[in-house]
């Protein structure tokens, strides 16, 4: 995306603004399908929680993607976006049996991640095939907030409990039609990931008639220049070999599934914010923008790096800045960043703003959430209006005192 085009969007729709280039989403989707083109049956289920605007889901539906959901609300948005229930997988954690039954009644594939619910569900609905989420206890990488496959993790059923799963299956007569793992974000080392997949193959072959193996996600994308990213083509080559071998031994062409969020949408997103104030202190120069952790919490929550560019002055002399928000709390987007000279009212562009950015936004400080715009087939569309005071007050019951 070039600066003048982004400036035009900021001018047309105002700031702060989320902007998604769907060509980048399509490119990423094609990259992952290409990596596994030598596997007979492949299904990519987009993880809706990364960016859940219904129009983005429609783009994925048009690509023949499936949908990975973690709440009944995501399932409902997916259905409204046009996904057929059989193309949706539901992978809740710590969710009630009631909600799981409600989703199952819609015809959506259920993925259960604990023995207690598995046993209850199996007794009540032995006829509904279930996928099980396994925790392989492999540390895929990243920090503990985003890595979910380790021993202390709340996610999945431990591989050591597979005998118990088999007992539940036997006792209830239920059918396990898939096995799943999701080791968390940021796969840095393909061999570690492959070790986890071997564990999953081992589990899979202990069940008679599975239809799919879901390897979850955790593909890392670059956040800065020369940043390491998961080499998806290499992973594709290595895993394809193992997967096809598994199918041969198992005697059935099961479906290989992945459920990436970040990989598919992170780089498509750009966040545009206007500089309200430049403030010199004894130790640094702050640039304060018309946004904060209410709109974009990843830098503060995960300590994640997002590249920041001054698109109003791209050729300006470079200086050092700390970019901060307007929330009455410390909300630093980037410290000591070298950026072309920033003046008040300049527009800054934050990169990798597609995944876990808008979807984690809030109304903290009673601020409006930003608008969202999508570029599709060369045309920009407003896909979410900026909020108003009415949105903030909706559902508040005013009591006369």
Ligand X SMILES: *Cc1c(COP(=O)(O)O)cnc(C)c1O
Please give the residue ranges that form the binding site for ligand X (CB under 6 A): 47, 49-50, 68, 70, 91, 182, 185, 216-219, 259-263, 355
Choice between 216 and 325, CB closer to ligand X: 216
Rg (CA), the chain: 23
Q: How far is the CB of 182 from ligand X (least distance, A)?
A: 4
Choice between 303 and 366, CB closer to ligand X: 303
Choice between 147 and 172, CB closer to ligand X: 147
Choice between 50 and 138, CB closer to ligand X: 50
Q: How far is the CB of 380 from ligand X (least distance, A)?
A: 25
Q: What is each CA distance from 401 to 211, 229, 395, 398, in whole angstroms?
A: 61, 57, 18, 9
Q: How many residues does the chain have?
A: 401
Sign (positive or negative) of CA dihedral 171, 177, 183, 188 = positive
Q: How far is the CB of 144 from ligand X (least distance, A)?
A: 14
Q: What is each CA distance from 50 to 56, 153, 352, 355, 361, in whole angstroms?
A: 11, 21, 12, 5, 12
Q: How far is the CB of 362 from ligand X (least distance, A)?
A: 19
Residue 330: count other Cβ atoms within 10 Å of its Cβ: 10
Choice between 13 and 215, CB closer to ligand X: 215
Residue nearest to ligand X (CB): 261
Q: How far is the CB of 52 from ligand X (least distance, A)?
A: 11
Work out whether strand 17-21 and strand 371-376 pair parallel, antiparallel, or are unpaired.
parallel
Q: Please list the active-site residues.
A: 328
Choice between 348 and 357, CB closer to ligand X: 357
Q: How far is the CB of 242 from ligand X (least distance, A)?
A: 21
CB 38 within 8 A of CB 244: yes
Helix, strand and coil content of the chain, in percent to the nearest 5, comes to 35, 25, 40
* Spatial CB neighbours of 282, under 8 Å, sequence gap ≥ 6: none
CB 103 within 8 A of CB 128: no
Q: How far is the CB of 190 from ligand X (least distance, A)?
A: 15
Q: CA-CA-CA-CA torsion for 217, 221, 223, 229, nearest 10 degrees?
A: 120
Choice between 218 and 370, CB closer to ligand X: 218
Rounded CA-CA distance 175/131 in Å is 9
Rounded CA-CA distance 52/234 in Å is 29
Select from 281, 296, 295, 291 the least CA-distant residue to 336. 281
Cβ-count burial of 399 within 10 angstroms (0-12 exposed, 13-18 middle, 19+ buried)?
Answer: exposed
């Amino acid at each position: 995306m070039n600066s003048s085009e982004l400036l035009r969007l900021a001018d047309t729709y105002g700031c702060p603004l989320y902007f998604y280039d769907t060509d980048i989403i399509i490119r990423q989707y094609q990259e992952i399908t290409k990596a596994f083109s030598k596997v007979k049956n492949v299904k990519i289920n987009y993880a809706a929680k990364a960016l859940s605007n219904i129009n983005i889901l429609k783009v994925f539906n048009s690509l023949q993607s499936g949908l990975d959901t973690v709440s009944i609300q995501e399932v409902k948005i997916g259905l409204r976006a046009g996904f057929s229930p059989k193309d949706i997988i539901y992978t809740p954690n710590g969710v009630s049996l009631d909600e799981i039954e409600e989703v199952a009644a819609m015809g959506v594939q259920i993925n259960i991640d604990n023995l207690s619910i598995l046993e209850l569900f199996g007794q009540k609905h032995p006829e509904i095939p279930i996928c099980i989420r396994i925790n392989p206890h492999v540390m895929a990488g990243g920090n503990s907030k985003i890595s979910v496959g380790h021993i202390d993790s709340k996610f999945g059923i431990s591989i050591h409990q597979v005998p118990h799963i088999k007992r539940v299956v036997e006792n209830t007569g239920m059918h396990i039609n898939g096995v799943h793992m999701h080791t968390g974000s940021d796969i840095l080392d393909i061999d570690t990931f492959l070790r986890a997949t071997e564990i999953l193959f081992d589990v899979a072959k202990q069940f008679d008639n599975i239809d799919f193996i879901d390897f979850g996600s955790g593909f890392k994308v670059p956040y800065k220049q020369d940043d390491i990213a998961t080499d998806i083509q290499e992973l594709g080559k290595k895993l394809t070999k193992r997967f096809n071998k598994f199918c041969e031994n198992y005697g059935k062409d099961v479906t290989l599934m992945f459920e990436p969020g970040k990989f598919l949408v992170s780089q498509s997103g750009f966040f545009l914010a206007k500089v309200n104030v430049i403030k010199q202190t004894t130790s640094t120069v702050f640039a304060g923008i018309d946004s904060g952790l209410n709109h974009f919490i990843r830098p503060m929550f995960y300590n994640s790096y997002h590249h920041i560019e001054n698109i109003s002055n791209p050729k300006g002399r470079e200086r050092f800045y700390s970019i901060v928000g307007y929330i009455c709390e410390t909300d630093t987007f980037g410290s000591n960043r070298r950026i072309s000279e920033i003046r008040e009212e300049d527009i800054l562009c934050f990169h990798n703003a597609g995944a876990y950015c808008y979807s984690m936004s809030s109304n903290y400080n009673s601020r409006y959430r930003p608008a969202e715009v999508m570029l599709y087939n060369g045309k920009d569309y407003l896909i979410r209006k900026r909020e108003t005071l009415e949105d903030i007050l909706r559902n508040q019951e005013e009591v006369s005192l």
